[in-house]
Amino acid sequence: MSENKIPYKIYLEESEMPKAWYNVRADMKNKPAPLLNPGTLKPMTAQELGAVFCDELVQQELDNDTPYIPIPQEILDFYKMYRPSPLVRAYCLEEKLQTPAKIYYKFEGNNTSGSHKLNSAIAQAYYAKNQGLKGVTTETGAGQWGTALSMACAYLGLDCKVYMVKCSYEQKPFRREVMRTYGASVTPSPSMTTEIGRKILEQHPGTTGSLGCAISEAVEAATSNPGYRYVLGSVLNQVLLHQSIIGLESKAAMDKYGVVPDIIIGCAGGGSNLGGLISPFMGQMLRGERNYRFIAVEPASCPSLTRGKFVYDFCDTGMVTPLAKMYTLGSNFIPSANHAGGLRYHGMSPVLSQLYHDGYLEATSVEQTSVFAAAEQFARVEGILPAPESSHAIKVAIDEALKCKETGEEKTILFGLTGTGYFDMYAYEKFNNGEMSDYIPSDEEIMAGLRQIPHFPGNEI
Ligand SMILES: *Cc1c(COP(=O)(O)O)cnc(C)c1O
């Protein structure tokens, strides 16, 4: 190892920690399209959004111009409990791969919720508390967001109602119990507790649910309970803003040692960790200061960027949310039971969608057996047991490092290791038993989803 001067783990001092989030929209020439009211097809006003979301978060959602938004002291104090997260130089993986590439990963799994989602959960819970609300409602897919939000609500003394995608509720009983331990109520979705849940169950009896269904139920629960608002763990502009802490810390840590990444890789479900990881680097690229390669990795079973369309669509299956302009597979698309539950979403962040559309970001899709193979390879040399979602990024980081081995290029690769996989052992068991299969939707299945996208002038697929 020629570069022993770079430690295995780079931590920031408390004084070096970011004090403001970075809003990449401020540097985008083509801003993400506004959310539309599906009834009028006019941009959602702050007042309309305020019925569903907390007021301060509505301001953040609509703010396309302010580059830096100060992080309130209470949130900084909470961040100190588990941040800075380590930036790790993957010396052991490099050695194993015999690659000249230099691999770094930003590890967001070192908090009890086990993922990056806590970064936005505490922010959203804080603003709800500040507004004097009683509680919040939300959906959770694999359970990471619900867990993170439960922790944040417990800390601030807010009530938390979680609608959990039914297949995860059944596959991950321990996730459910963690949420209940932190005081949340957890309902499997679709459920009979909401009007939309009953309707979905009537139309698709026996469905194992999807994030889209659970969102519909959580929104209904928020708007029908006074003193509650809905919070969302990904996709929204405000969530990418909060997750910029990942990229800001990564960049500060790399700057400290004069390291500049060539390639930045992240898994993409709704786009929040990737959006957060790349944001300060993307800002440089948008301002014309430097070039990077950014790669979004999605599951082949739910390929919104690589096979979806860039149009306005609902964010949920029940069609109760505003319309977002994003890469989408159609809000009725219910992906096959892929084990990376956090990546089973039909759409993609409007910010990332716009950046992808404008050519600033690449996207690729990978099959789950190859993802688990990469996860195990990584776990055996780097020690961390990665979440299946995170392992999508590992897979592509390894592929890029192996390309460097062929060409002899000493590229620097940074990827986001979003979380740990302790609650995913059922999936690991399937893989270890050779029982895991890959599912790639046919063109026909993709078209069936796309045909459900709302039709109006300018929104043709
Ligand atoms: C939720 C989740 C993801 C995907 O969500 P994004 O909003 O795309 O970041 C990735 N990894 C883990 C561990 C998650 O919990």
- Residue 387 CB less than 6 A away from ligand 1: yes
Ligand 1 centroid–CA 283 distance in Å is 22
Residue 116 Cα to ligand 1 midpoint, Å, equals: 7
Could you tell me if the CB of 419 is within 6 A of ligand 1?
yes
Q: Which amino acid, residue 223? A: T
What is the model's pLDDT at position 168? 86
Q: Specify the DSSP element, H or E, that contains 282.
A: helix 272-286
> 293: which residues sit within 8 A by CB, 6+ positions away?
262, 263, 264, 362
CA–CA–CA angle 103, 426, 422 (5° rounding) = 50
- Classify residue 452 by its DSSP letter: T
Give the β-pairing of 293-299 and 263-267: parallel
pLDDT reported for residue 271: 97
Cα radius of gyration (the chain):
20
Local mean pLDDT, 10-residue blocks, the chain (461 residues): 75 95 98 97 97 96 98 98 97 98 98 97 98 97 93 98 93 92 97 94 90 89 95 96 98 97 98 98 98 98 97 90 96 80 88 98 97 98 97 98 98 98 93 95 96 94 85
Question: pLDDT digit string (tens) for 106-147?
Answer: 999 999 999 999 999 999 999 999 999 999 999 998 899 999
Index of the ligand 1 atom closest to the CA of residue 390: 11
Per DSSP, the residues of 359-423 read: TS-EEEEE-HHHHHHHHHHHHHHH---B-HHHHHHHHHHHHHHHHHHHHT---EEEEEE-BB-GG
pLDDT for res 446: 96
Maximal C-alpha separation, the chain:
63
Q: Check if 266 has its Cβ closer than 6 Å to any atom of ligand 1.
A: no
Dist. CA 218 → ligand 1 center (Å): 19
Ligand 1 contacts CB of residue 272 (under 6 A)? yes
Amino acid at the residue 325:
K
- Tokens 């698309």 locate to 333
CB 194 within 8 A of CB 137: no
pTM equals 0.96
Please tell me if the CB atom of residue 270 comes closer than 6 angstroms to any atom of ligand 1.
yes
Q: Give yes or no for residue 83 CB within 6 A of ligand 1.
A: no
DSSP 8-state class, residue 115 = B
Of the residues 116, 243, 385, 415, which should be mutated to test ligand 1's pocket, given the most ligand atoms within 8 Å of the CB? 116
CA 222 / ligand 1 centre spacing (Å): 23
Our answer on whether the CB atom of 234 is closer than 6 Å to any ligand 1 atom is yes
Tell me, in angstroms, the distance from the centre of ligand 1 to residue 269's CA: 6
Position 2 scores a pLDDT of 46
Measured from the Cα of 276, ligand 1's closest atom is: 9
Average pLDDT, the chain: 95
Residue located nearest, by CA, to atom 3 of ligand 1: 342
Residue 119 in contact with ligand 1 by CB distance below 6 A? no
Cα angle, residue 116 at apex, residues 115 and 121 outer, rounded to 5°: 105
Sign, CA torsion 110/113/114/118: negative
Question: 432 near 399, Cβ under 8 Å?
Answer: no
Question: How many secondary structure helices (H) and strands (E) does the chain include?
Answer: 18, 15
Tell which atom from ligand 1 comes closest to the C-alpha of 233: 7
Report the atom number in ligand 1 closest to the C-alpha of 343. 4
- In short, whether 342's Cβ falls inside 6 Å of ligand 1 is yes
Q: Is 385 in the pocket of ligand 1 (CB under 6 A)?
A: no
**pLDDT of res. 211:** 80
Distance of alpha carbon 60 from its chain centroid, rounded?
A: 18
Report which ligand 1 atom has the smallest distance to the Cα of 275.
Answer: 9
Q: Give distance in angstroms: CA of 242 to centre of ligand 1.
A: 14
